[in-house]
């Protein structure tokens, strides 16, 4: 499937699931970085809002064969984002070098078509007025606007950090489209104490993600849908890779091209 648009720079992640302990440091730092309003009761998962959510995966075998893996899920920043095509007010778009799918909350009318179309459940509706009780407002970051009730929001790969990095590069006379890997990192990547998340430009051979995404253990979620996610996962465990897509019993894991190739043989 053709790309929605080709970019010279495509930011993406490679998340090593064999290194994730599911501690939630990424979730915590994401909320603080992006002014996500706290929720008194996030127990109702249908109403909770998570830019980044850590899922617990199971190989569905009984004890003692059972295995557990944790999977952090940010927005996949798809190459062919289904959310963009359904938005009636162009509140979400993929139109900037870096390939980050934008979410312009002041434009959002809260119709939630994008949520319905996103196969990754990466988009969340603001069911409640944002509220920072007591003095919690003091800790709001000046970099990210707060969002009201009634709009959809999602992970932006900490876009404000990209803006700052580009500004800095321009001020230093450097090319903002050739940022070194360490110049722009998302909050979750920085927070992960295990180094399970690697972030960078998928098109840049000098960035680690360029190599890592080509690992035989790398896969993407539901990649046969053709969404072309910019988030890759890695696991040496076959069952984990199989959970990444709806594989039939005889199908092998891997990219659609690889599956087709294997089948033709």
Partner 1 sequence: MQRRGFLKFALGGTVGLAASPAIWTTLYDLAYWTQNWGWIPRLQNGEDLSVATVSKLDGTPLKVRVVDGRVINTSGNKDNAYSAGGLTPLAASEAQLLYAESRIKRPLKRGPDGGYAYTSWEDAESILKKKTRNAQGSLAFLTSDSSSSLNDIFSAFTAENGSRDFFFMPSDEQAAAVAWNTVGGSGSLGYDIANSDCILAVGANFMDSWGTVAHNRAVFKETHPTGENAEQAIYYAGAMQNNTAVVADTWLPVKPGTEEIFLGAVLSELIKNNIMADSSLSALASRYSIEEAGKACGTDTEQMKKLVSALKNANRPLVFAGTTEGQSLGSTVHMLAIAINAVLGRINQDGGMVALPEREPLLPSAQRYSDIFARNFVAYSMQIANGMANAPKLLFINDANPVYALSKDAQVKECLAKIDYTVCFAAHWNETCAECDLVLPAAHGLERFDDVYTPYGSGNINWTLAKPVTAPRYQARPVGELILALADELGLSLGVNDIPSLLEMRANALHADFKEYLESGDTYQEAFHDFSVPTLNFMPLHSKQAKAPLSEIALHTYINSAAGNPSTGIPPYANRAITEYQLQDGLCVAQMNKATAQKLGLADKQKAVLETKNGSMPVLVRFYEGVMPDVVAVMAGLGHTGFDRFSVNKGNNILEITQIDMEAGSDLPVWLSAVNVVKG
229 sits in the region (left: phi over 0; alpha: psi -120 to 50; else beta) called beta
Stretch that binds partner 1, among 5-13, 188-196, 219-227, 241-249 (CB under 8 A): 188-196
Q: Select the residue interacting with partner 1 from 114, 158, 187, 202 (CB under 8 A).
A: 187
CA distance 29 to 35: 10
Which residues neighbour 164 within 8 Å (Cβ) at sequence distance 6 or greater? 143
The answer to whether 207 touches 179, Cβ cutoff 8 Å, is: no
β-pairing, 124-125 vs 152-153, is antiparallel
Using the CB atoms, write b or e for 13-47: b if 16+ within 10 Å: bbbbbeebebeebbbebbbebbbbbebeeeeeeee
CA distance 204 to 210: 6
56 contacts partner 1 (rule: CB under 8 A):
yes
DSSP 253: P
Q: Select the residue interacting with partner 1 from 198, 202, 221, 240 (CB under 8 A).
A: 198
Residues 142-171 that bind partner 1 (CB under 8 A): 142-148, 151
By rule CB under 8 A, what string of x and - marks binding of each residue 212-241 to partner 1? x--x-x----------------x-------
Which residue from 9, 199, 209 is spatially nearest to 100, judged by alpha carbons? Answer: 9
- Min separation Cβ 75 and partner 1, Å: 16
Q: Select the residue interacting with partner 1 from 16, 93, 153, 228 (CB under 8 A).
A: 16
168 vs 224, which CB is nearer to partner 1?
Answer: 168
Stretch that binds partner 1, among 12-20, 76-84, 171-179, 249-257 (CB under 8 A): 12-20
262 contacts partner 1 (rule: CB under 8 A):
no
50 contacts partner 1 (rule: CB under 8 A):
yes
23 contacts partner 1 (rule: CB under 8 A):
yes
Instruction: Name the strand (E) or helix (H) holding 166.
Output: helix 159-171
By rule CB under 8 A, what string of x and - marks binding of each residue 120-139 to partner 1? ---------xx-xxxxxxxx
- Min separation Cβ 96 and partner 1, Å: 21
38 vs 256, which CB is nearer to partner 1?
Answer: 38
């Amino acid at each position: 499937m053709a790309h929605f648009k080709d970019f010279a720079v495509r930011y993406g992640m490679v998340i090593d699931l064999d290194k994730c302990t599911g501690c939630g440091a990424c979730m915590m730092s994401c909320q603080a970085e992006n002014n996500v309003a706290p929720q008194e009761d996030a127990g109702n998962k249908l109403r909770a809002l998570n830019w980044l959510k850590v899922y617990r995966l199971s190989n569905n075998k009984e004890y003692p064969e059972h295995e557990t893996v944790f999977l952090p899920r940010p927005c996949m920043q798809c190459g062919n984002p289904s959310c963009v095509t359904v938005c009636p007010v162009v509140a979400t778009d993929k139109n900037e070098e870096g390939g980050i799918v934008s979410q312009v909350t002041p434009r959002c009318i809260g119709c939630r078509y994008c949520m319905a179309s996103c196969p990754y459940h990466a988009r969340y509706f603001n069911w409640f007025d944002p509220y920072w009780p007591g003095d919690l407002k003091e800790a709001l970051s000046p970099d990210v606007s707060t969002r009201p009730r009634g709009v959809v929001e999602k992970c932006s790969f900490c876009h404000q950090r990209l803006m700052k990095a580009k500004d800095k590069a321009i001020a230093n006379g450097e090319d903002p489209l050739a940022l070194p890997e360490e110049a722009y990192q998302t909050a979750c990547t920085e927070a992960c104490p295990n180094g399970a998340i690697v972030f960078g430009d998928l098109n840049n051979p000098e960035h680690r993600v360029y190599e890592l995404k080509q690992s035989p253990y790398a896969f993407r979620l539901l990649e046969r849908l053709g969404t072309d996610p910019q988030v890759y996962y890695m696991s040496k465990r076959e069952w984990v890779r199989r959970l990444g897509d709806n594989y039939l019993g005889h199908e092998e894991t891997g990219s659609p091209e690889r599956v087709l190739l294997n089948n033709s043989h």
